[in-house]
Structure 1
Amino acid sequence: MGTMLALCRAAAALLTTAALALSPSAAASPGHRDPGWRGAWAASPQAPTDRYAPNWSQRGFDDHTLRQVVRVTAGGDRVRIELSNRYGTAPLRIAGATLARAARGGAVVPGSSRHLRFGGEESVTVPAGGTLHSDAVRFPVTPFESLTVTLRPAGPTGPATFHQLAAATTYRATGDHRADESGAAFGETGRSWYYLSGVEVSGGPDAGRRDGVVALGDSLTDGAGSTPDADNRYPDELAELLAGAGRPRAVLNHGIGGNQLLSDTSWAGEKGLTRFRKDVLTEPGVRTVVVLEGINDIGAGKDVSAERLIDGYRTLIGEARARGLRVVGATLLPVGGSRYGTPANEAVRDAVNHWIRTSGAYDAVADFDRAVADPADPDRILPAYDSGDGLHPNDAGYRAMAAAVDPDLL
């Protein structure tokens, strides 16, 4: 795997030379006219909340510049970003945005920054409740390359649409620093993403491929318990393992910490049944979805039955197949020793997992439960895989989950 990543980085370095020769204004047609887009990175939008940890979502931004670093899992020769104001109560005005190759911390690779345009203009307004894409920019990227997106909101934004559990560092500066190559001005940091909900690519050696994977889930997909800024969430690990096996494809993370399959919450997003239509079915270039939802429904104290969860899974399966997607069902991880670890909850989890394994309702099954369970006590996560709360894996646990997904399942 290390050799593969080294080759990817070497290829990125070679492509940088070509990219720097292109004019910042050398953009292709807006994406809605181009059917060749593929998702390369994603994050599900959420309503403002500080339930898990302090962040900037409720106050929003005023005379700030945001710098956000993301790692793509697909390459191409053109890039566009997606901005979301899904939960905004007023139009979001963006004075400008740039795309660059990430360097250390809040810095970017010198000479790599490109101004993004929206309908040919540097500034744009995203309507309340709306989502839009930038114009395409010629910017060759390779899989596993880290990109920096810098946004300059115009004026007070009010509460911000965001993604709370980024497991990555976001940088904030006062004033307009969108074109800075140094990270010196970005003295404030957080662990959430704001407004940025997608990076898409087109062209390149993989043009025309439609084999991407979406991981739909809760904090176990979002990466709670993984090392920040290390890209060790299970979807990240899955993308690396697939590439290392000679089966490369984009893997897009649509997990939200605390999310439930059947119920909306103010702090953990709309229910999975709703998000599936908004987040999964709108992703371009996708062939397969992996569903890992339900443990928060079981643990929320609402006496959710296995039958209700199974009805929800059947709904997702039907909607996916209607759009030509394969659906992989993931078994629910052990919760013994965690706040969810009660006999009643365990009975529901066992019943759900039995159905996932034996019903034949899914196209395939990823048995995450058995991948991380302690053989001596299968209702608990193996201590070597436990982040410390009995509920969320650590980096090694997420790697074991990824390894449970046979490439042939996809």
Structure 2
Amino acid sequence: MKKLLAPLLAATLGLTLLSGLPAGAAQAGETRADARPAAAARWHAAWGAAPQLPATGFTANWSQEGFSRQTLRQVVRVTEDGDRVRIRLSNAYGTSPLAVTGATVARTATGAAVEPGSVRHLTFGGSRSASVPARGELRSDPARLGLGRLESVTVTLYLAGTTGPATFHSQAWADSYRAEGDHRADTGGDAFTARSQSWYYLSGVEVSGGTPPRKGGVVLFGDSITDSFGSTPNANRRYSDALAERIDRPVVNSGIGGNLVLNDSAWYGERATARFRRDALDQPGVTTVALLQGLNDIGYSEAALKPDPQPTYKPSPVVTSAELIAAYRELIDAAHARGVRVVGSTLLPFKGTSHWGPTAERTSAEVNHWIRTSGEFDAVVDFARLLADPKDPQALDPRYAYADRLHPDDAGYRVMAEAVAPLL
């Protein structure tokens, strides 16, 4: 597996992680330094999104055009409480440094509006402006802002220069907002007249000073099912949301719609073996990863044979169960080397979809048998049986299926969360 291990290690090369405390006393409304020693502050990933190359998505987005003299406002829900907050910005797919003129965090009100009195200007190494290196990422300094568990926080970036194409996360299932000019400190949302359902540059929100989680954080790692395609937009009904509502632990969603285990995709991100460390193991405070991935590797070759195939379902080689199992083992080994547990998930039923065919049927059965019986995962949740149609176990139960019969709906994601919660 040297060929797979090399990109996993290479994914971290050139990654710049910068975090520091502001020098001197903070002014009113600015970031305040964490008064405790850095070693004493325990940070936990409370929200995250896996970065992707700028690309055309299923819905219109701003990733390819980027931003110029515009303010970008994004709303996310944190899964851990704290009295300090910091953000992580990703320029992983930028070819030049990203200039951030200024950034704020605030408690969310409604839509693009925020709660008056809650706006905090962020600093980066003591400065309100920042430069995120090409192919790197940057953490802000801590800001004092009390956040409750499952509370929404609004992150606003002012980008005075021209950014070029933007590192983003395609499928947010939530509105992001754009305004012309500098509106980073606005409490109202009237200036934010443009909307998109993707996230840009923002890859993490981390908290400190709250109730210490008893077992550490959980990362859900996978493809569009983990990313929660088919969930209701702007309603926090993703698989990760349903899980966070059921366990008293931070939950980070590191799914990418369309993602593959074994191959990179121009539309759907770096392969799982290349991004696993960045998007799962490097999340602060993580102790468990729940892995659900492989259906696209199996199904894209079948979809390519259908009439009018989806042009983004590439690459689409025929993948064997042995190849997928070898990759799963590599991910398990990488996690265990960090002391992180891995919960395996069987692939959901998908008969009747574009991904279904004779080869996919055989390969998915072989993969699911190995996941159930190998004993190599620390625990296993059997979604294949749990979500199967009682009348046809190879198809998704209509009670839990989105219109495409490939993805669950809100009810299906709740059932998944209920099943995996006791194993974490």
Question: What TM-score, normalized by structure 2, do the two folds share?
Answer: 0.88
Whole-Å separation in 1 of the counterparts to 2:181 and 2:237: 33
Percent identity at matched positions? 56
Q: Count the aligned residue pairs.
A: 383
Partner of 2:257: 257
Q: 1:25 to 1:80 in 2, by over 3 A?
A: closer
Q: Structure 1: which 5+ runs fail to align?
A: 1-20, 243-247
- Tell me the CA shift for residue 98 of structure 1: 0.6
- Tell me the CA shift for residue 30 of structure 1: 11
Partner of 2:276: 276
Structure 1 residues 16-55: aligned runs within 5 Å: 23-28=29-34, 36-55=42-61
Partner of 2:355: 340
Match of 1:179 among 181, 185, 191: 185
Whole-Å separation in 2 of the counterparts to 1:195 and 1:265: 19
Match of 2:138 among 114, 127, 132: 132
Q: Deviations over 1:90-129 (max 9, x none)?
A: 1100010010111111111111111111111110000101
- Tell me the CA shift for residue 162 of structure 1: 0.3
Q: 1:406 to 1:126 in 2, by over 3 A?
A: closer
| Kept in 2: contact 1:31–1:136 (CA 8 A) | no
- Tell me the CA shift for residue 370 of structure 1: 1.7
Match of 2:223 among 218, 226, 231: 218
Partner of 1:108: 114
Partner of 1:303: 318
Q: 1:190 to 1:32 in 2, by over 3 A?
A: farther
Partner of 1:318: 333
| Kept in 2: contact 1:45–1:86 (CA 8 A) | yes
Instruction: Give the AA of the match of 1:311.
Output: A
| Kept in 2: contact 1:30–1:135 (CA 8 A) | no
| Kept in 1: contact 2:220–2:252 (CA 8 A) | yes
Look up the SS of the partner of 1:405 in the other structure: helix
Look up the SS of the partner of 2:146 in the other structure: strand
Whole-Å separation in 1 of the counterparts to 2:29 and 2:181: 26
Partner of 2:239: 234
Q: 1:106 to 1:173 in 2, by over 3 A?
A: same
Partner of 1:77: 83
Q: Deviations over 1:166-222 (max 9, x none)?
A: 011000001101011110000100000000000001112227x55110000000000
Whole-Å separation in 2 of the counterparts to 1:136 and 1:260: 35
Match of 1:156 among 159, 162, 166: 162
Whole-Å separation in 2 of the counterparts to 1:29 and 1:153: 30
Partner of 1:395: 410
| Kept in 2: contact 1:38–1:210 (CA 8 A) | no
| Kept in 1: contact 2:222–2:255 (CA 8 A) | yes
- Tell me the CA shift for residue 231 of structure 1: 1.1
Q: 1:198 to 1:367 in 2, by over 3 A?
A: same
Whole-Å separation in 1 of the counterparts to 2:400 and 2:392: 13
Q: Structure 2: which 5+ runs fail to align?
A: 1-26, 302-316
Whole-Å separation in 2 of the counterparts to 1:25 and 1:223: 34
- Tell me the CA shift for residue 307 of structure 1: 0.8
- Tell me the CA shift for residue 285 of structure 1: 0.6
Whole-Å separation in 2 of the counterparts to 1:221 and 1:116: 31
Match of 1:349 among 351, 359, 364: 364
Look up the SS of the partner of 2:104 in the other structure: strand
Whole-Å separation in 1 of the counterparts to 2:59 and 2:110: 25
| Kept in 1: contact 2:31–2:141 (CA 8 A) | no
| Kept in 1: contact 2:29–2:121 (CA 8 A) | no
Runs of 4+ with >3 A deviation:
29-35
Partner of 1:362: 377
Q: 1:150 to 1:292 in 2, by over 3 A?
A: same
Instruction: Give the AA of the match of 1:163.
Output: H
Whole-Å separation in 1 of the counterparts to 2:227 and 2:98: 26
| Kept in 2: contact 1:42–1:197 (CA 8 A) | yes
Whole-Å separation in 1 of the counterparts to 2:183 and 2:421: 44
Look up the SS of the partner of 1:155 in the other structure: strand
- Tell me the CA shift for residue 299 of structure 1: 1.0
Look up the SS of the partner of 1:249 in the other structure: coil
| Kept in 2: contact 1:106–1:186 (CA 8 A) | yes
Q: Deviations over 1:319-349 (max 9, x none)?
A: 1101000110011011111101212211111
Between 1:335-344 and 1:309-318, the stretch displaced more is 335-344
Whole-Å separation in 2 of the counterparts to 1:31 and 1:254: 30
| Kept in 2: contact 1:29–1:136 (CA 8 A) | no
Q: 1:158 to 1:173 in 2, by over 3 A?
A: same
Partner of 2:400: 385
Whole-Å separation in 1 of the counterparts to 2:377 and 2:269: 25
Q: Deviations over 1:119-162 (max 9, x none)?
A: 11110000101101000011111110000000011310000000
Instruction: Give the AA of the match of 1:178.
Output: R
- Tell me the CA shift for residue 25 of structure 1: 3.6
Look up the SS of the partner of 1:63 in the other structure: strand
Look up the SS of the partner of 1:355 in the other structure: helix
Partner of 2:288: 288
Look up the SS of the partner of 1:404 in the other structure: helix
Whole-Å separation in 2 of the counterparts to 1:284 and 1:335: 34
Instruction: Give the AA of the match of 2:287.
Output: R
Q: Deviations over 1:272-309 (max 9, x none)?
A: 01111111111111110001010010012111011110
Whole-Å separation in 2 of the counterparts to 1:192 and 1:23: 28
Question: What TM-score, normalized by structure 1, do the two folds share?
Answer: 0.91
| Kept in 2: contact 1:30–1:136 (CA 8 A) | no
Q: In the alignment, is residue 168 of structure 1 matched against residue 169 of structure 2?
A: no
| Kept in 1: contact 2:29–2:119 (CA 8 A) | no
| Kept in 1: contact 2:71–2:158 (CA 8 A) | yes
Instruction: Give the AA of the match of 1:285.
Output: G
Whole-Å separation in 1 of the counterparts to 2:36 and 2:64: 32
